[in-house]
Amino acid sequence: METKIAVLKGEIGEEQFIKEASKVIRNGGTVAFPTETVYGLGANALKSDSVKKIFEAKGRPQDNPLIIHVASKDIDEYVKNVPEVAKKLMDKFWPGPLTLILEKKDIVPNETSANLNTIGVRMPKSDIALKLIKESGVPIAAPSANISGRPSPTDIERCIEDLKGRVNYIIGGDKSNVGVESTIVDCTVTPPIVLRPGGVTLESLREVDSSIEIDKGLLNNSDDFKPKAPGMKYRHYAPNAKLKIIKGNRKKTIEKIREMVHNYIKAGMKVGILISEENIDMYSEGEKIVLGSYNDLSKVASNLFEALRKCNDLNVDIILAEAFTEEGLGIAIMNRLNKAAGYDIIEA
Ligand code: TXA
Ligand code: MG
C-alpha cells in the first residue's frame, strides 16, 4: 500500500495536510498522527471495516480494544452515562493524557471495543490530533502507532519505520512530549480503578477523588491478580535484545551494573545501559543511553520509548536498566520498563 507522508514544519501546509488526512479517515482509511502521549494509528471509530484495518496494520490481537479519540467533552453520543466522577476527571484533565472507560452505546461497533460493552474515551491535547478529529467529523479509534509488541513511537520517524507501506497516511512533526501513554481509569466501577498508569499520576487523580484505586494486577507479575485491561497482559514495548532491570540503592545498583556489563563484554557481547543523568560518569563500559535526571521523571518518561528503540539501532545483545522510583510518573515508567523486560528484575 502506498503511504502518503506529511511532515509538518510549523504551520506551513498544515491546513491542507489536515484536510487530506481527514478525507482518508472519512473514506475509511488509516492515518497515523501525533498526540502528546505517543503517536496514534487512527481510523473512523464508528465503522467496523475501518477499525479492522488498524488491527491488520499493527498485527494487533483481536481481543484488545481500542481507545476512541474525541475533540470535545460532549461524548453523550458514544457512551450511556457519564458518572459524576468521570465529569470531574474530564474537567480537570481533558484535553490531556487521561482515558476514561465508560459504558458504550451501540453506535460504537464491537470491533472497536473488542466485544466489551465498555469503551475507552480520550480527548488528546495535541493540536494536530484535535484538528484532525474535528475535520474528520467522527471520533478516531487509535492505538499507539507501532507494530504490536514494539515500543510506542514518540516521533514521526519511528512511526514511519513501523508503518510505512501499512497505512494510508502519516502526518506529524512534533515529538510526543509526555512519552508514555494515557492513564486509563475505569469509571464503570466504584471506586474507579486505574487500569494503566500513564501521563496523569495517581496522586493527581486522587485530588479529584481520593477513593480511586490502582488495579492490583499492575503492581506485580503474580498469577493471583491478572490485569483488567486486556492490553496489559501482552508482552509489550520490547526492544530486540533482552532487557534486565537492576534495582536497589544507588551505590549497589551502579556496582551491580558495572560488574554485569564487564562480564557480558568479556563474553563478547555488546551491552546497552539505560541510566539516569546523575550516573553518567559512573560507567566506563557499555553503550550509555541517558534517560534523564531521576529528579525529573517527566524527562525520563518522554525519552523512554526512544531509548528502547535506540538499543535496536545500536544492535546491542543485552540491555541493563537502572530502576527508577515508583512514585508519581515513576509508576508509569516502571510499568513500561517492567513489561519491556518481561519482569526480569535483579535486586542489587
Ligand atoms: O496515550 C494513549 O492512550 C495512546 C494514544 C495514541 O492516544 N493510545 C494507546 O492505545 O495507548 P493502545 O491501544 O496502545 O492502548 C489501549 C489500552 C490497551 O491496554 C487496551 O486493552 C485498553 O487500553 N482498553 C481499551 N479499551 C478498554 C476497555 N473498554 N476496558 C479496559 N481496557 C481497555
Ligand atoms: Mg500500545
- DSSP states of 278-329: GGGGG--SSEEEEEE-TT-HHHHHHHHHHHHHHHHHTT-SEEEEE---SSTT
Nearest ligand 1 atom to the CA of 41 is 6
Q: Can you give the residue ranges of every domain in the chain?
A: 4-80+99-176, 242-347
Ligand 1 atom index nearest CA of 122: 7
For residue 62, give the C-alpha cell: 483481536
pLDDT confidence of residue 221 = 67
Other Cβ atoms less than 10 A from the Cβ of 7: the count is: 13
For domain 4-80+99-176, the CATH superfamily is DHBP synthase (3.90.870.10)
Ligand 1 in reach of 123 Cβ (< 6 A) = no
Q: Is the CB of 181 under 6 A from ligand 1?
A: yes
The CA-atom distances, in angstroms, between 304 and each of 200, 264, 324 are: 16, 23, 12
**Whether the CB of 172 sits within 6 Å of ligand 1:** no
Position 73, amino acid:
K
Per-residue pLDDT of the chain (348 residues; tens, 9 = 90+): 999 999 998 777 899 999 999 999 999 999 999 999 999 999 999 999 999 999 999 999 889 999 999 999 999 999 998 999 999 999 999 999 999 999 999 999 999 999 999 999 999 999 999 999 999 999 999 999 999 989 999 999 999 999 999 999 999 988 999 999 999 999 999 999 999 999 999 999 999 999 999 998 887 666 667 778 887 776 678 899 999 999 999 999 999 999 999 999 999 999 999 999 999 999 999 999 999 999 999 999 999 999 999 999 999 999 999 999 999 999 999 999 999 999 999 999
H or E, element range at 171: strand 169-172
Q: What ligand has the least distance to the C-alpha of 148?
A: 2
DSSP state of 229: S
Q: Which CATH architecture has domain 242-347?
A: 3-Layer(aba) Sandwich (3.40)
Amino acid identity at 282 = M
Q: Is 89 exposed, middle or buried (0-12, 13-18, 19+ CB in 10 A)?
A: buried
Nearest Cα residue to atom 10 of ligand 1: 143
